[in-house]
Each structure stands twice: as structure tokens, then as C-alpha cells.
Amino acid sequence: MSELSTKATALLRMHDDFVVLPTAWDAWSARAIVDAGFSAISVGSHPLAESRGQQDGEGMSLDDALEGVSRITAAVDVPVSADLESGYDTPPAELIERLLEAGAVGLNIEDTVHSEGRIRAPQEHADYVAGMRAAADAAGVDVVINARTDAFARPELHGGDPLEQAIERMLLAEQAGARSLYPVKPPTTEALAAILERVTLPVNVTAHPIKGSVAGDLAATRASGARRVTFGPLLQMALTETVAELSRPWR
């Protein structure tokens, strides 16, 4: 576990300032990102599922997802954070054990339970995060748990005010032992700022590699106070457009 512990600590320290973790989906994309100069990467469930001909939203099994993650961690010698959706109905201790077996040292965990079509209650999600924290601590690896809420993305599942829900869920996740927070799809910079005012952990935002994030371009995103950037499926989508442009003249 010593190598994993070293990588986890390195990944966590990157969050002290501002870190961009471009999102990979296979060994090729992971190597390309590292060759471009990045010191850590994320693995997105959406692009990974696309690369396998499967659906996001836990259309893959946990075995499928971790098989893809294992190929990526074997291809690059940098810290890897994996999106494991809502945990694939797996107990938190087992999820951490299997994450570490796959060679990753961070993970996204969201509160939408895809198999049940519902969103976890705020404390329920915090308890899941706490279970993962306890398992990671027991393994001696400071796994960077990036606690995600879909309070903005899926308001119909909780029926409350999205901003109030996002803040409550992020505060509880912070207390439960998350290392970063991911209120996905904040609708405005004001909503993002309201969350940043209430939490102390680094906040993750999604960015398009060309179009930027809700806060704007790289400089504006850094200035917003967000301290972690991932691309979700957007890098893969941008490359899809580029492939079309490059290959169209050969039709």
C-alpha cells in the first residue's frame, strides 16, 4: 500500500492550490494527458462507458468500470481518481478495497442511486462517504474522496431548493471525511460562489477544454475560488468533433 499511499498524498496536496485533472477513458487517452504535462488524471464514468459501448448511469457493472480503471492505472505512473458513480450498490468498505486493488487513489461518489432512480438523503450520502473514509483510513491510504451532489442536476429527485440542498449535502460530506466537493452543474457563478462561501474543502467544477466552465476560462475559473477542475465527458466529446473535422475530407 505504500506506493498507493504516496500517490494519494500527492494527489491531495495538489488541491492545496488549484489542480486540473483532465478526464481519461482508456490507456491511450491517459498517456496522452500525462504526455501533455499533467501530474494526475481523472477517469470519467461517462467517457469510460462510451469507450466500452455501454451507458453512463451505471450501465456498466462495477467490474466493468474497475477493469477500465485498472488498464489506465497500469498505463501511467501518476495518481488516478476514478468516477464510480453512486457506488454500484456496493458497501463503502468494499468499494474502497476494490478501488485500491485497481490502483486508483481518488474517486467521485455521487448521491443519485441509479439502480433505484432516487437521490440519497443528505445524511445518507454523508454516511456513505464516512464509511469510505473509515475504510481508506484503515488501509492507510488517504483516498481523495470527491463527494458529488446532483442537487442542481436532478432537483426533481429531492423536491427542495437546489442551492439549499447542494449546500447542505456538501457541508455534511465535508464533515464525513470527503477531501473535495463536487456540486455538479451549478447554474450560475453566483450559485457556485454561494457554495464556496459555506465550505472549506476544495470545490470541483466541470469544464469544457475549449469553452471553459460555469466560471469562464481557466483564469476566471481559478479566480472564482474553485480549486479543482475535471472535464467529465467533455474532452471526449470535443475530440469526437475533431475526429469528424479531420476525417471528413476523406469521405
Interval 20-44: pLDDT, tens: 999 999 999 999 999 999 999 999 9
Domain with 22, as residue range(s), is: 2-246
In the predicted structure, residue 56 carries a pLDDT above the cut 90: yes
Is 251 among the domain residues? no
Is 192 among the domain residues? yes
What is the pLDDT confidence band of residue 1, given thresholds at 50, 70 and 90?
Answer: confident
pLDDT of res. 44? 98
Is 95 among the domain residues? yes
What is the pLDDT confidence band of residue 51, given thresholds at 50, 70 and 90?
Answer: very high
Alpha-carbon span 114 to 239, nearest angstrom:
28
Q: Please state the domain count of the chain.
A: 1
User: Residue 44's closest CA among 29, 103, 8, 187?
Assistant: 29
pTM above 0.75?
yes
Beta pairing, strands 23-24 & 19-21: unpaired
Alpha-carbon span 235 to 193, nearest angstrom:
25
Residue 16, phi then psi, degrees to nearest 5: -65, -30
pLDDT of res. 43? 98
Is 80 among the domain residues? yes
The CATH number linked to 177 is: 3.20.20.60
Is 142 among the domain residues? yes
